[in-house]
Structure 1
Amino acid sequence: MSDRFALRTELLVRSVSALARGVAGAVLLLAAALSLAGCGSTPLPTYNLSAPSGFTAGGSGNGQLVVVAPTALAVLNTDKIMVEPGAGQVAYLADAQWSDNLPALLHARTIQAFENASKLRRVARPGDGVNADYTLVTDIRTFALRITDQGPVAVVEVSAKLIGTQSGRILAAQVFRAAVPAASSAGANATAALDQAQEQVLVQMVRWASAKF
């Protein structure tokens, strides 16, 4: 009886050991597969927007302006770069991305554009503790590479409203638009054209708003 019990015990130990080795091997294989998958993923090239400089904006008043972050539809509220391959169609570039969500990126460049136009002491963002006389509210209508019969074109369109902070009334409103042909729909060329288009829009908008405060 004791020999039979000892034999059963030995067989049980061997079975458990084999099972443990099998589990350990499976875990190692899974870890290796995950490691290889991580090594195989390549981050997308990341592009930035630049603030226009080397221009001036008029305006003789002493009012202070707060620039609010732009609003945008969900399709534009992302770090993906939008493409319009046809009427009513939306896609994104597969080989490029913005360095931040588009509204946040354009907000920063808008403030820098005002500062570069010699408005450094009169422009701020919400939360800076400034008692603003005016508020600039913007909405990104279009910020995309549009595929046309003549080739890809970077189209940027932003609507702007200048609001009197005390009265809450809209004092002025305008839509700014620029279109710049792109050399191709590749990431580097597409983002370069979009950057040029948004610089043109920002120069127009800064000059328009500065004349009113």
Structure 2
Amino acid sequence: MLCLPLVLAACGSAPTPTFNLSAPQGFTAGGRGDGQLVVAPPYALAALNTDKIYVEPAAGQIAYLGDAQWGDSLPSLLQARIIQSFENGSRLKRVARPGEGIIADYQLVTDIRMFGLRITPEGPVAVVELSAKLIGNQSGRILAAQVFKAQVPATGSSGPEATAALDTASDQVLVAMVRWASGKF
């Protein structure tokens, strides 16, 4: 009998709204399109390696939106969108995840430096910053490296407003990354 009130209390709570990121479309990238690319899972510190939506209320402070979450962990979600971005905008259609049985010529390694809402005196700003390294698999050498960053003002700090701004900033970063990497091979 003690379990019944707990079950009923759990049924009364509303599920947390879940959000997704889109992959940019309708853009083109240069390059010859030679070779096969493997996109490694992005590396993220524990604060960003979650399905929670990161908020920086002040410098050095970490919080999460209480009324929103990602549909998967941020690194997994970003890996999928990076692959889709290459497929959507690059001549390089031979892109995959590690372990999918391809022999890759190149590997794209990314670090998530920032992916969240920064609260500023002017209002909330979606900030996406990724560090990318293009590695030649035969040589094991870093062929090129670059940091990509975008900032987009958010219309508010609720789940829908924050994630819309983060999606826009993410699209900007991913388009720039695909164009940069596609021009290297």
TM-score tier by shorter-chain length is over 0.9
Amino acid aligned to 1:163: I
Q: Residue 53 of structure 1: which of 15, 20, 25 is its match? A: 25
Distance 2:133 2:9 in 1: 48
1:77 aligns with 2:49: yes
1:126 counterpart residue number: 98
- In the alignment, structure 2 segments of 5+ residues that lack a partner are none
Distance 2:91 2:84 in 1: 9
Amino acid aligned to 2:177: M
Computed over aligned residues only, the root mean square deviation of the Cα atoms, in angstroms, reads 1.0
1:153 counterpart residue number: 125
CA gap of 1:88–1:81, structure 2 versus 1, over 3 A, is: same
> Aligned-pair distance for 1:60?
1.6
**2:36–2:92 contact (8 Å) kept in structure 1:** no
The C-alpha deviation readout for 1:82-138, integer Å capped at 9, x for no partner, is 000001000000100000000000000000000001446321111121111111000
Larger relative contact order (CA 8 Å, sep ≥ 6): 2
1:179-198 matches, within 5 Å, as 179-198=151-170
The C-alpha deviation readout for 1:62-90, integer Å capped at 9, x for no partner, is 12111111000000000000000001000
Q: Residue 4 of structure 2: which of 32, 39, 47 is its match? A: 32
1:164-183 matches, within 5 Å, as 164-183=136-155
2:180 counterpart residue number: 208
1:163 aligns with 2:135: yes
Q: Specify which structure has the higher proportion of helix.
A: 1
Instruction: Name the TM-score, length of structure 2 as normaliser.
Output: 0.97
Instruction: Name the TM-score, length of structure 1 as normaliser.
Output: 0.84
Distance 2:99 2:178 in 1: 21
- In the alignment, structure 1 segments of 5+ residues that lack a partner are 1-27
Distance 2:88 2:50 in 1: 26
Total equivalences in the alignment: 185
Identity of aligned residues (%): 72
